[in-house]
């Protein structure tokens, strides 16, 4: 699910996402909260943070320019 929710609220037309299913011998400690959504959002926020650092801009400014705009 994280692969489908990675984009959060940003436009990302030129991104390729790959994933792997893994099985471990350790049982899950959660009740499947979020179904991978929080992990996908965390990845995209980290990407946006790195973009802002490389451009020398604030993360808020980069987020505003790349976010999905919804106008009435």
The span from the CA of 49 to the CA of 65, in Å, is: 13
Residue 72 has pLDDT above 80, yes or no: no
- pTM, full prediction: 0.64
Residue 53 has pLDDT above 80, yes or no: yes
In tens, the pLDDT along 4-51 reads: 777 777 877 787 888 887 777 877 666 656 667 777 788 888 888 999
Residues across the chain: 72
- Residue 52's pLDDT band (boundaries 50, 70, 90)? very high
Report residue 65 CA to chain centroid gap: 16
The span from the CA of 62 to the CA of 52, in Å, is: 6
């Amino acid at each position: 699910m994280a692969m489908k929710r990675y984009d959060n609220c940003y436009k990302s037309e030129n991104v390729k996402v790959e994933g792997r299913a893994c099985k471990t011998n350790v049982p899950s400690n959660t009740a499947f909260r979020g179904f991978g959504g929080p992990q996908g959002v965390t990845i995209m926020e980290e990407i946006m943070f790195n973009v802002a650092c490389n451009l020398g801009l604030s993360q808020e400014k980069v987020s505003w320019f790349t976010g999905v705009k919804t106008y009435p």
